[in-house]
Structure 1
Amino acid sequence: MRKISIVVPCYNEQETIYPFLEETQKIEQKLKKQLVFDYIFVNDGSKDDTLNVLREVASRFPNVHYLSFSRNFGKEAGLLAGLEAATGDFITVMDADLQDPPELLIDMYTKIQEGYDVVATRRADRKGEPVIRSFFSKMFYKIINAVSNTEMVDGVRDFRLMTRQVVDSILELEEVNRFSKGLFSWVGFDVTYISYENRERVAGETSWNFWSLLKYSMDGFINFSEAPLNLSMWAGGISFIASLLGIITIIIRKLTIGGSVSGWASLVCIILFIGGIQLLALGIIGKYVAKIFLETKKRPVYIIKEKK
């Protein structure tokens, strides 16, 4: 019988693990004649009692396994560790907070049987999400799709069912600075989407805030687009042309009207403008150089302290 591995990254999810298993095991019973379920929880350096809960469920259920990191390495590291540990013919990634509806696994498996390589889920709306976060999320997808050759669909979750071939292709990408939403799209294959209404967490609080999401989105731009570098180049070019026009204007005024341009305030503003563009360009270049620096150090993406 074919096996499905369910990868569940966890960070401070002590309250959601049992509800998650309870709901997912209902689906397991419905698909037990077609699939063997295998659970892989990844404890990403949780500060609460998540690890003890995982030890308990792993001792109760033989098909539940866990990996525990030596510290918090981030969700991307948790995803990678789970995918590397997964041995199923099909692999899915789910959040423990039940924002990813387990009942969709039935429809997702049906779609896989139709010949798709990936069945991804996407939110039909952003109901319950803060207005500001929703606005910036939509803007991110519009901008990244405008400047990147890798299409990223708005509202798509990490919750997706993939064949073994797709996961193996993702694992061949050995980069340290990972942006999974982009990597899932970059590898290609035949993908279809299932929409569902947005859901609230079943318990606990999200570890994502506006600033962490903003930082994550910046990683997406750096990893999948050269647009920031092009922006700094064009800004420098426009600034240079503007300065030449300014010099020509001053020369013509001197020859025709006489006297110099009065006012030190305008000169200071121009200097600050040029300096700001230079710092912006250096900052953008610095981000790319920093990514290169991290890649060349070849540090492991995560360190496992305990597993079962």
Structure 2
Amino acid sequence: MSLPGTPQALAPSRQRRCASELRPRISCVIPALNERENLCVLLPCLETVLVSVASAWEVVVVDDGSSDLTCELMEAWACRQGFRYLQLSRNFGKEAALSAGLAAAAGDVVVCLDADLQHPPALIPQMLDLWREGADMVCAVRRNRVDESPVKRWGAWLLYYILGSGHRVRIPADAGDFRLLDRAVVTALLRLPERTRFMKGLFAWVGFVVRSIE
């Protein structure tokens, strides 16, 4: 069952969770830049998972100015129930594409994931379990970086060391954009005035109850 219409107004998170804790309405937001081949694999897998865990669902693919055949592929998928396609006028960058997808998402729960197959849809049921236990945000954290070069690992360590040196806001180390957001978190993010966005920083800035999985 697909999700029609626009996002509902903010309601107390705990009250909404009591009414829909078993099978919530789920939106998945996928920024994509020249990811046609990966989307051919990802979208069927995602559909299989969502059918089993959601009362209603949608997959929102945001095309960030692709120059491959992503448009042709998504025009076909958009004819199927539950799939939506947003095509940006040019390449604005992943942060802008992710923000556009969050603005379009209508679910009680929104899952953000990349199109490059590094974020396994099979983890979504585990994320939902933590959400039902009271987490407002569930972020996936890399177990290790053994597949990366020493220079990239050192750069990632330095980045998170600098980001974590402050006292007011803590950004979880090695947490990417693969995360589940309660509707209350999405509403808070959309109300922020920033136009040039660093989403990992904004995810941390808005607060709420956060849990992590590897």
**TM-score past 0.5 threshold:** yes
1:138 maps to: 157
Query: Secondary structure at 1:134's aligned position in 2?
Result: helix
Q: What CA distance in whole angstroms lies between the structure 1 residues aligned with 2:189 and 2:115?
A: 22
Question: In terms of Rg, which structure is larger?
Answer: 1
Query: Secondary structure at 2:107's aligned position in 1?
Result: coil
Which of 17, 20, 32 is residue 42 of structure 2 equivalent to?
Answer: 20
Query: Secondary structure at 1:142's aligned position in 2?
Result: helix
Query: Secondary structure at 1:87's aligned position in 2?
Result: coil
Answer yes or no: is 1:46 the counterpart of 2:66.
yes
CA shift, 1:127, in A, is 2.2
CA shift, 1:25, in A, is 1.9
CA shift, 1:129, in A, is 1.4
Give the TM-score normalised by structure 1: 0.61
Q: What CA distance in whole angstroms lies between the structure 1 residues aligned with 2:123 and 2:133?
A: 16
Q: What CA distance in whole angstroms lies between the structure 2 residues aligned with 1:180 and 1:100?
A: 17
1:165 maps to: 184
Question: Where do residues 206-285 of structure 1 align in structure 2 (5 Å cutoff)?
Answer: none
CA shift, 1:147, in A, is 4.0
Gap runs ≥5 in structure 1? 196-308
Deviates more, 1:7-16 or 1:129-138: 129-138
Identical positions, percent:
38
Q: What CA distance in whole angstroms lies between the structure 1 residues aligned with 2:51 and 2:110?
A: 18
1:253 maps to: none
Which of 51, 57, 61 is residue 29 of structure 1 equivalent to?
Answer: 51
Quick one: which amino acid aligns to residue 7 of structure 1? Answer: V
Quick one: which amino acid aligns to residue 139 of structure 1? Answer: L
2:30 maps to: 8
CA offsets, 1:147-204, max 9 Å, x none?
4632111110111111100100011102111100000000000000001xxxxxxxxx
CA shift, 1:35, in A, is 3.0
Quick one: which amino acid aligns to residue 67 of structure 1? Answer: L
1:176 maps to: 195
Q: What CA distance in whole angstroms lies between the structure 1 residues aligned with 2:129 and 2:24?
A: 14
Which of 116, 123, 132 is residue 113 of structure 1 equivalent to?
Answer: 132
Answer yes or no: is 1:57 the counterpart of 2:77.
yes
CA shift, 1:58, in A, is 1.0
Answer yes or no: is 1:75 the counterpart of 2:94.
yes
2:212 maps to: 193
Q: What CA distance in whole angstroms lies between the structure 2 residues aligned with 1:148 and 1:23?
A: 40
Superposition CA RMSD, Å: 1.2
Quick one: which amino acid aligns to residue 37 of structure 1? Answer: W
Q: What CA distance in whole angstroms lies between the structure 2 residues aligned with 1:46 and 1:130?
A: 27
Higher RCO (CA < 8 A, seq sep 6+): 2
Quick one: which amino acid aligns to residue 78 of structure 2? Answer: A
Q: What CA distance in whole angstroms lies between the structure 2 residues aligned with 1:2 and 1:105?
A: 12
CA shift, 1:62, in A, is 1.3
Greater helix fraction, Structure 1 or Structure 2: 1
- Equivalent pairs, count: 192
Gap runs ≥5 in structure 2? 1-22
Runs of 4+ in 1 over 3 A off after TM superposition: none
CA offsets, 1:39-91, max 9 Å, x none?
000000011111111111112x2110011011100001101100000010000
CA shift, 1:126, in A, is 0.7
